[in-house]
Each structure stands twice: as C-alpha cells, then as structure tokens.
Amino acid sequence: MTRMGREWWRRRLLALGCVVTVFGVLHHVDHVGRGNHSGWPFEEAVTPFTFSLLIYALLLPGIFMNLRGWVVAGWWLFVALVGVVLVFFVHFVSAEREAPVRDIYAVYGSPVWGVLALVVLTGLLFGLVTLAVTAFRAVVASRAQGRRR
C-alpha cells in the first residue's frame, strides 16, 4: 500500500474502533443501569456479561496500535468478527438471551430511555459490522498491493 493509502485505512479503522468502543461502553453501562443481565464486578455472580468485558482487551490494543501509526486491519477484522458473534449470540440466539424488547426496552419506565438503549445496541451492532467490512477491505487492499510489487 502507498503511504497515503495506509494512512487512509489507518484513520478509518481507528475511527471505527473508537466508535465501537464508545457504543460498547454505553451498552455495558446500560446493562448495569437496568440491573438485568449484568454480572461481576457489578454483581456477585460471574455471568456472560463478565466475560463480555474482555472485549476491551481486544479493542484498546487495536486503538493503541493505530495511534502508533500501524495499520492492523487483520487485528480489527478478528476483533469485529468476535464482537459481532458475541453480541448477536447473546442478544438473539442463546437460550439465556437478552430479548431486546422485553429485557431492554420494557425494563425502563420511560419509553425514551428504552429507545435510547435499543439505539445503543443497534449502533454497537452496526459499528461492529462496519468495522468488519472496512477491515476486510483493508486486508484485501493490502494483499493486492503486495501482489503488485
């Protein structure tokens, strides 16, 4: 990749990584605020919520590497795919799933807060999918450039 191309991909991946991190934090705060589907360290029990906090051990190094000037498209592709699978499975597939309308929207006494919680979940999923697509395109562009040499 040319220097200009690398910088373009690095900035896109950094921006998307930050967006996903912000939506992830907001979504975890929403879980704790609702008081359902939470877990340690906010409750005594270790739950899937507890393990979902480990996503930050993947997101933050990616942001750090991008800030250092590295284009880590493969890293972001891995993180985004793990995130999409995790969020989709926990919210829509598993037997203990968190049903978005029943467990997110309906828990709040105010429809405004319920809608905001659903917007955060939607933003998180959309951000993860966008990050995955962008990272995939960056990996393909990098490999295509390598073949041209």
Q: How confident is the model at residue 148 (pLDDT cuts 50, 70, 90)?
A: low
| Cβ-based neighbour number of residue 40 at 10 Å | 13
Q: Residue 106: what are its φ and ψ, rounded to 5°?
A: -70, -20
Does residue 1 carry a pLDDT above 60?
no
Question: How confident is the model over 75-131, as pLDDT tens digits?
Answer: 999 999 999 999 998 888 877 766 776 778 788 888 899 899 999 999 999 999 999
Number of H helices, E strands in the chain: 5, 0
* Side-chain-side CA neighbours of residue 49 (13 Å): 24
pTM above threshold 0.75: yes
Encoded amino acid at 70, one letter: W
Distance CA 120, CA 116 (A): 6
Write out the two tokens for 94. Answer: 């598993």
Residues making up the chain, counted from first to last: 149
User: C-alpha 96: how far from its chain's center?
Assistant: 21
Distance CA 98, CA 78 (A): 24
Does residue 41 carry a pLDDT above 90?
no
